[in-house]
């Protein structure tokens, strides 16, 4: 299931196979960026190794270091959903959200084909 902090981008590769882009955006309280980044040093490699994850990286806003995004590409929505369910079941999954401030926005974008 989509959560408020996730955005999906539907991409089509050269074989017209459907894949998805996932953007998870965090706006954090002061000091929260260091704690989240430390936690993601373990979590991002796990994501990259998950079946179906084609790429994943952490981006930091150059003007606001408390604004971070995980950007990932998955072979299918089902593979991402399987990963997301596993991630949500981890003991630290909800503890990191205490550093999030403000609302999170969900964007759903489809490839226009242009």
Report how far residue 46's alpha carbon sits from residue 111's, in angstroms, rounded to the nearest whole number: 27
Please answer whether residues 104 and 4 qualify as being in contact, where contact means their C-beta atoms are separated by less than 8 angstroms: yes
Q: Which two structure tokens, joined as six digits, stand for 77?
A: 């929505």
Nearest in space to 70 (alpha carbons), one of 1, 8, 12, 2: 8
Q: Which two structure tokens, joined as six digits, stand for 52?
A: 């179906």
Q: Convert the pLDDT of each residue in 16-70 to its tens digit.
A: 456 778 888 888 888 878 887 888 888 899 999 999 999 999 999 999 988 888 8
6-110 domain in CATH 3.30.70.100?
Answer: yes
Q: What is the dihedral of CA 70, 75, 78, 80, to 10 degrees?
A: -20
**Predicted TM-score of the model (pTM):** 0.74
Q: Convert the pLDDT of each residue in 56-105 to its tens digit.
A: 999 999 999 888 888 888 888 788 889 988 988 888 777 767 778 865 55
């Amino acid at each position: 299931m989509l959560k408020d902090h996730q955005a999906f981008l539907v991409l089509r590769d050269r074989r017209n196979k459907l894949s998805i882009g996932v953007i998870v955006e965090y706006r954090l309280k002061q000091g929260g960026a260091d704690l989240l980044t430390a936690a993601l040093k373990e979590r991002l490699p796990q994501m990259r190794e998950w079946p179906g994850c084609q790429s994943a990286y952490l981006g930091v806003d150059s003007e606001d270091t408390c604004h971070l995004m995980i950007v990932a590409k998955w072979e299918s929505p089902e593979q991402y959903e399987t990963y997301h369910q596993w991630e949500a079941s981890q003991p630290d999954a909800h503890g990191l959200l205490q550093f999030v401030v403000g609302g999170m926005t969900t964007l759903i974008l489809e490839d226009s084909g242009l």
